[in-house]
């Protein structure tokens, strides 16, 4: 004996008088079926629930007669009314709102009373199905719907056991593909506001339209009951917006009522295209004019099959048997119009899912299935891949939402009764829409060409500056030229970083100026192209941080000039908290910039930011809109930067009378004046100006002018100073070279000595300042002139036996000897003792020692009997250079040497030692003898112990 299992049918049985019920269970429906009743129901709205039951029973019969599906099982059908019993006006009044009957009485019957029901199929309104679908999911009863389309039910978090062979979520994407095929950019939507399915589809369609930039010119939310006032309001609204493409989102009866009513108002014709996912009909209305109105209505539906499909043939034959109808009294087309064939797919898929479950595990039995012991395995995924070639698709598959995975077919109503013709379909993934071969849509006037979606539109030109527009190119020129200036000035301070004109301003101050100007330049680039929230934020961040860095640099420099020159205070090595004056200046700068960053972060996070599009009669421009003077974050940011400018103005003003030779408040004054003028004049003008590309260009131009003023006031005087130094040294060199033509080598030395001594005599000497690294503990053996710090005010370099001011051409002495420690600005010359210069020793050809460090003299080689030397040991390593004969040499900013106008070659002698001074001296003398020999003309390198000797000599080294 086969084991019985039951599948429940949830249906609107309240449409049928004489129904006998036990709570929600219908007990006498099969006895009501007769040829006359079946014929009557074809033409009534109640035909939908009537034939939904019949095709479900037909499917169960087919399964029970098929030994391959659930062998040993007999499927019984149990019927449950989701709307109670019959009442006379049910067809006019019932639209799915059951007052809780379906969720309470019917659901309780299924879960607690009729425990033989292990699955249900439903033909319910979406609004009715919401409660049972959720309750049955909690009870782990699978529920397949053949009539509930609402996208709400696609939420598998709430309805994991609910599924359906129906398209639902994402139908808006399918519609959009057709609109794009017809190049439609503007539509209107009318939706049934008091129906859950209609409202959910409206949200789905609206989201897709907006996502694809299709404009919704008007959206009408109308009640189910259509009145003359509603018709008048809808007509006026659609005509006011000149809507040409109108989408309906509602139940079939709602679509039909509103469509036919507005057709009578003249809103159906050659200029209009109506479309929807439900068809339009003429329920119970014999007015044939309504058929002609329907012509051109576009209807989206799932694919249908030909009469040769085996599943469809089996369904049709069994439906005729159950309903006791003939082929003449019930055609296949009429069966499709009744929208019930999906119930057949539901029953077949459910049975096949049960069959697959039993076959998937040998421990599962029919008895376990019938007693609800396998319900935990029956969520929607069990039925998603049954392989059933059904009515909705071949095979039927479900997507991740439990909805039908299939394309949508596009139908045009022909105007002949309510017949339709399919002309194309969308892809399963809703990525495109295509016409069938030889097919095309039929619009209301019989044309296959889509009408325009509205009146002729004035095409607005987007005037947002781009790289190809004149405004964008102008901004690019501003940005590129200002960056070029920044690059040139950076090269300048790198090349002449030892020049006093550069050191006087401080490399850190000049670097701050360059960073600030670079940020301003980059911010101009962000004016180009269509803005987004990121680029809008970066514009403000770059400009505000650039302003903050600039103001802190100006303030710090002016304050230092104020302390040193105006107040004439000597700076202590350390002040409060053990911090030096320079360190305190840096702390001030970092604190100010940290405050700037914090305020910008508050402005970015708490302020309202957006990109808005402003239109005029001919164009549109996209601009950034952010917190301004009407918001707290904007006011705080403005006040903070106003205070920075005020402090900079104050210190620039009080240092205006400082000593011109040292003070650089001139450029500080120029900078603060320029930025004050920009704040007072340009910012208010730009704020009040209407959005336009000229406004952005003006903004960029103001930044560009401020950059040029800043860079010019700081660097042009330094360019002039370096040029003047070079010219002065060239003049001195010419005088020395002229002397050579009249004197011998010894005369050359005397002439050069004279030039050097005159330079030293003009230097300002302060014996109260000690040479760095020469501590007093060295005692009396260190002569007083070694303790003197000499500041040479002229840029003519002394004859320093091979030392050179960077980027300056100087003469080199015959047999001049000089040395310095690694990392010091001080060196020893046999002519002038310790000197301060802007470069250090060239240890060997093309090499220099960099930076400032503690150092003491270690060795000097007497040039004559009047020169005395002392050797001091502290750090290992001696560096000595000997040069022979006069020549010209230039030392570039990179630290590399370049020979220009060579007259005679240099003889280099270099020693490095870790041994005693005596051993070093012996090697030194040996090297001198080697230089005077003519045995070899090549470079000689050798070492002995910790002493390394490097000798390079020309063929006439004996001249030394």
pLDDT given for residue 4 in this prediction: 94
- The residue-averaged pLDDT of 793-802 equals 30
* Residues 686-737 pLDDT 10s: 666 677 788 888 888 888 888 888 888 888 888 887 787 777 766 665 665 5
- The residue-averaged pLDDT of 219-248 equals 94
pLDDT given for residue 569 in this prediction: 61
> 827 pLDDT exceeds 70?
no
Q: How confident is the model at residue 117 (pLDDT cuts 50, 70, 90)?
A: very high
Polymer length of the chain: 960
- The residue-averaged pLDDT of 762-783 equals 28
pLDDT given for residue 880 in this prediction: 39
Among 21-35, 112-126, 927-941, the range scoring the smallest mean pLDDT is 927-941
Structure tokens at 365: 């039995």
| Stronger pLDDT, 839 or 730, i.e. the higher one | 730
Tally the C-alpha atoms within 13 A of residue 847's C-alpha that lie toward its C-beta. 10
Among 453-462, 557-566, 774-783, the range scoring the smallest mean pLDDT is 774-783
The CB-based long-range contact list for 926-932 (8 Å cut-off, 24+ gap) reads 927/951, 928/882, 928/960, 931/882, 931/884, 931/907, 931/957, 931/958, 931/960, 932/957, 932/958, 932/960
CA distance 799 to 812: 7
> 946 pLDDT exceeds 50?
no
pLDDT given for residue 822 in this prediction: 36
pLDDT given for residue 733 in this prediction: 58
pLDDT given for residue 559 in this prediction: 79
> Residue 514 in contact with residue 552, Cβ under 8 Å?
no
- The residue-averaged pLDDT of 632-646 equals 84
- The residue-averaged pLDDT of 661-690 equals 65
Per-residue HEC secondary structure of 716-755 comes to HHHHHHHHHHHHHHHHHHHHHHHHHCCCCHHHHHHHHHHH
Q: How confident is the model at residue 98 (pLDDT cuts 50, 70, 90)?
A: low
- The residue-averaged pLDDT of 181-196 equals 94
> 617 pLDDT exceeds 80?
no
> 246 pLDDT exceeds 90?
yes
pLDDT given for residue 695 in this prediction: 82
Three-state SS at 952: strand
CA 174 to chain centre: 29
**What are the b/e assignments for 900-917, b being 16+ CB within 10 Å?**
eeeeebbbbbbbbbeeeb
Give the strand order in the sheet containing 940-944: 908-912, 947-952, 940-944
What integer best gives the mean pLDDT of the chain?
Answer: 74
How many Cβ atoms from other residues are within 10 Å of residue 42's Cβ? 18
* Per-range mean pLDDT, top range of 208-217, 570-579, 798-807: 208-217
If you write DSSP's letter for every residue of 307-370 in order, what string do you get? TT-HHHHHHHHHHHHHHT--TTTS-HHHHHHTT-HHHHHHHHHHHHHHHHHHHH-TT--HHHHH
pLDDT given for residue 38 in this prediction: 85
How many Cβ atoms from other residues are within 10 Å of residue 423's Cβ? 18
- The residue-averaged pLDDT of 277-284 equals 75
Tell me the torsion sign for CA atoms 230, 236, 239, 240. Answer: negative
pLDDT given for residue 909 in this prediction: 37
If you write DSSP's letter for every residue of 45-108 in order, what string do you get? TTHHHHHHHHHHHHHHHHHHT-TTSSTTEEEEEEEEESS-S--TTHHHH-SS--TTHIIIIIHH
Angle (deg, nearest 10), helices 507-525 and 470-495 = 160
| Whether this model's pTM surpasses 0.85 | no
> 100 pLDDT exceeds 80?
no
> 138 pLDDT exceeds 90?
yes
Which percentage of the chain shows pLDDT scores above 70? 68
pLDDT given for residue 311 in this prediction: 86
CA distance 804 to 806: 6
> Residue 195 in contact with residue 96, Cβ under 8 Å?
yes
* Residues 843-883 pLDDT 10s: 333 222 222 222 223 333 333 333 333 333 333 333 333 33
Structure tokens at 532: 């987004």
CA distance 171 to 198: 12
- The residue-averaged pLDDT of 301-322 equals 83
pLDDT given for residue 369 in this prediction: 95
Q: How confident is the model at residue 178 (pLDDT cuts 50, 70, 90)?
A: very high
Nearest to residue 908, comparing CAs of 889, 935, 922? Answer: 889
Which percentage of the chain shows pLDDT scores above 90? 33
CA 277 to chain centre: 37
Among 228-237, 515-524, 753-762, the range scoring the smallest mean pLDDT is 753-762
The CB-based long-range contact list for 714-720 (8 Å cut-off, 24+ gap) reads 714/489, 714/505, 714/510, 714/513, 714/667, 714/671, 715/489, 715/492, 717/501, 717/666, 717/667, 718/492, 718/496, 718/499, 718/501, 718/502, 718/505, 719/492
> 654 pLDDT exceeds 80?
no
pLDDT given for residue 172 in this prediction: 94
CA distance 631 to 627: 6
> What are residue 629's phi and psi, to 5 degrees?
-75, 0
Among 343-352, 386-395, 599-608, 723-732, the range scoring the smallest mean pLDDT is 723-732
* Residues 407-433 pLDDT 10s: 999 999 988 877 889 999 999 989 999
> Residue 400 in contact with residue 157, Cβ under 8 Å?
no
| Stronger pLDDT, 946 or 922, i.e. the higher one | 922
pLDDT given for residue 13 in this prediction: 93
| Stronger pLDDT, 942 or 543, i.e. the higher one | 543
Give the strand order in the sheet containing 619-625: 461-462, 619-625, 610-615
């Amino acid at each position: 004996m086969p084991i019985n299992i039951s599948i429940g049918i949830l249906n609107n049985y309240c449409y049928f008088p004489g129904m006998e019920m036990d709570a929600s269970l219908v007990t006498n429906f099969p006895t009501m079926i007769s040829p006359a009743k079946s014929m009557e129901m074809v033409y009534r709205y109640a035909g939908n629930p009537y034939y939904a039951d019949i095709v479900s029973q037909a499917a169960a019969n087919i399964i029970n007669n098929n030994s391959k599906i659930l062998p040993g099982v007999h499927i019984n059908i149990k019927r449950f009314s989701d709307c109670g019993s019959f009442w006379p006006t049910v067809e006019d009044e019932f639209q799915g709102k059951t007052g809780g009957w379906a969720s309470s009485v019917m659901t309780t019957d299924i879960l607690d009373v009729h425990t033989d029901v292990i699955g249900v199929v439903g033909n319910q309104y979406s609004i009715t199905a919401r409660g049972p679908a959720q309750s049955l999911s909690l009870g782990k009863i699978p529920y397949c719907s053949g009539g509930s389309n609402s996208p709400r039910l696609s939420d598998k978090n709430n309805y994991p056991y609910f599924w359906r062979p129906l398209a639902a979520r994402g139908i808006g994407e399918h519609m959009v593909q057709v609109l794009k095929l017809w190049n439609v950019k503007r539509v209107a939507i009318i939706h049934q506001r008091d129906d859950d399915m209609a409202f959910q589809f409206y949200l789905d369609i609206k989201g897709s339209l907006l996502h694809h930039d299709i404009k919704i010119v008007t959206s009408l939310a109308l009640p189910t009951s259509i009145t003359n006032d509603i018709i008048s309001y809808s007509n006026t609204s659609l005509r006011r917006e000149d809507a040409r493409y109108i989408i309906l989102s509602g139940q079939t009866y709602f679509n039909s009522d509103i469509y036919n009513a507005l057709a009578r108002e003249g809103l159906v014709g050659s200029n209009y295209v109506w479309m929807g996912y439900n068809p339009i009909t003429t329920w119970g209305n014999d007015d044939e004019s309504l058929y002609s109105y329907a012509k051109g209505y576009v209807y989206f539906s799932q694919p249908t099959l030909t009469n040769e499909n085996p599943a469809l043939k089996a369904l049709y034959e069994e439906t005729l048997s159950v309903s006791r109808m003939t082929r003449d009294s019930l055609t296949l087309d009429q069966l499709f119009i009744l929208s019930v064939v999906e119930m057949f797919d539901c029953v077949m898929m459910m049975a096949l899912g049960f069959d697959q479950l039993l076959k998937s595990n040998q421990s599962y039995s029919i008895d376990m299935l019938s007693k609800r012991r396998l319900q935990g395995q029956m969520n929607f995924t069990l039925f998603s891949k049954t392989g059933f070639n059904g009515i909705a698709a071949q095979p039927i598959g479900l997507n991740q939402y439990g909805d039908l995975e299939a394309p949508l077919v596009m139908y045009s109503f022909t105007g002949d009764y309510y017949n339709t013709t399919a002309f194309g379909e969308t892809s399963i993934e809703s990525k495109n829409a295509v016409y069938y071969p030889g097919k095309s849509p039929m619009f209301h006037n019989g044309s296959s060409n889509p009408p325009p979606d509205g009146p002729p539109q004035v095409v607005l030109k987007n005037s947002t500056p781009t790289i190809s527009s004149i405004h964008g190119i102008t901004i690019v020129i501003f940005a590129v030229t200002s960056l070029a200036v920044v690059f040139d000035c950076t090269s300048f301070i790198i090349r002449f970083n030892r020049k006093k004109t550069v050191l006087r301003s401080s490399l850190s101050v000049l670097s701050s100026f360059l960073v600030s100007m670079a940020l301003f330049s980059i911010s101009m680039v962000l004016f180009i192209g269509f803005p987004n929230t990121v680029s809008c934020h970066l514009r403000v961040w770059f400009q505000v941080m650039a302003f903050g860095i600039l103001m802190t640099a100006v303030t710090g420099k002016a304050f230092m000039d104020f302390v040193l020159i105006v107040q004439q205070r000597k700076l202590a090595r350390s002040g409060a908290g053990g911090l030096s004056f320079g360190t305190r200046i840096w702390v001030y700068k970092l604190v100010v910039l940290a405050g700037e960053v914090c305020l910008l972060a508050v402005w970015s996070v708490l302020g309202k930011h957006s990109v808005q599009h402003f239109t005029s009669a001919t164009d549109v421009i996209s601009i950034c809109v952010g917190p301004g003077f009407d918001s707290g974050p904007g006011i705080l940011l403005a006040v903070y930067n106003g205070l920075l400018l005020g402090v900079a103005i104050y210190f620039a003003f009080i240092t205006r009378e400082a000593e011109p030779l040292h003070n650089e408040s001139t450029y500080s004054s120029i900078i603060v004046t320029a930025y004050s003028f920009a704040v007072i004049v340009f910012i208010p003008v730009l704020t009040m100006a209407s959005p336009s590309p000229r406004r952005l260009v003006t903004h960029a131009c103001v930044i560009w002018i401020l950059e040029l003023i800043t860079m010019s006031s700081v660097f042009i005087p330094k360019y002039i100073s370096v040029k003047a130094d070079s010219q002065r040294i060239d003049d001195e060199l010419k005088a020395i070279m002229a002397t050579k033509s009249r004197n011998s080598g010894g005369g050359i030395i005397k002439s050069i000595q004279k030039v050097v001594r005159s330079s030293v005599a003009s230097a300002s000497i302060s014996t109260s300042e000690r040479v760095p690294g020469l501590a007093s503990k060295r005692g009396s053996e260190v002569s007083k002139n070694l303790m003197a710090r000499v500041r040479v005010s002229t840029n003519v370099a002394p004859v320093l036996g091979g030392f050179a001011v960077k980027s300056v051409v100087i003469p080199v002495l015959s047999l001049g000897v000089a040395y310095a420690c690694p990392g010091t600005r001080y060196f020893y010359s046999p002519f002038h003792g310790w000197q301060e210069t802007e470069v250090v020793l060239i240890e060997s050809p093309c090499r220099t020692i960099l930076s400032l460090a503690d150092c003491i003299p270690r060795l000097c080689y007497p040039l004559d009997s009047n020169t005395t030397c002392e050797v001091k040991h502290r750090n290992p390593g001696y560096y000595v250079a000997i040069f022979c004969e006069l020549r010209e040499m230039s030392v570039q900013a990179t630290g590399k040497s370049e020979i220009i106008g060579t007259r005679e070659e240099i003889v280099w002698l270099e020693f490095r030692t870790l041994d005693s001074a005596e051993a070093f001296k012996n090697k030194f003398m040996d090297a001198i003898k080697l230089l005077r020999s003519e045995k070899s003309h090549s470079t000689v390198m050798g070492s002995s112990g910790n002493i390394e000797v490097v000798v390079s000599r020309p063929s006439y080294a004996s001249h030394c």
